[in-house]
Amino acid sequence: MSKYENEFSNFPSQKIIKHNFKNIDDSIADTINEINDLRVQGKYNEAADIIRNNQNILSHYIVDATTFRTWEEEIYNTQTFAKQVQQSIYFDESEPECLEGDVWLAD
């Protein structure tokens, strides 16, 4: 049985998360400009506070570490799933390691 990572991803038991990111518009531009200005000034804690306080709104506009970790985990889980469900057809008499669902053709 394959081991899946499930800290950020529930694939394959659930669909991969669709994030639906938005382009920055006038409704959020001031907040994002303020965050960027604070970062340029080296005031990272203040910028982080603004991000934390506006996380529900900003999550639609900014990709953060959690999003990257989710993508990484979902790619890993997809690779694991694809490797596990791959069906192979064997013609040989010797039995290699195989997965349930593989097909054997007899001579």
Q: For residue 14, tell me if it sits in a domain.
A: no
Tokens of 3: 């081991």
Q: For residue 46, tell me if it sits in a domain.
A: yes
Q: For residue 2, tell me if it sits in a domain.
A: no
Q: For residue 59, tell me if it sits in a domain.
A: yes
Q: For residue 63, tell me if it sits in a domain.
A: yes
pTM for the whole structure: 0.61
Q: For residue 12, tell me if it sits in a domain.
A: no
Q: For residue 30, tell me if it sits in a domain.
A: yes
Instruction: Note whether 70 and 16 are within 8 A (CB).
Output: no
pLDDT in tens, the chain (107 residues): 568 888 888 888 888 888 889 999 999 999 999 999 999 999 999 999 999 999 989 988 988 888 899 999 999 988 888 877 666 555 566 666 665 556 666 55
Cα–Cα nearest to 1, from 12, 16, 15, 17: 12
Domain that holds residue 35: 26-104
Spell out the SS3 assignment of the chain. CCCCCCCCCCCCCCCCCCCCCCCCCHHHHHHHHHHHHHHHCCCHHHHHHHHHHCHHHHCCCCCCHHHHHHHHHHHHHHHHHHHHHCCCEECCCCCCCCCCCCEECCC
- Based on the structure, what is the number of domains in the chain? 1
Q: For residue 6, tell me if it sits in a domain.
A: no
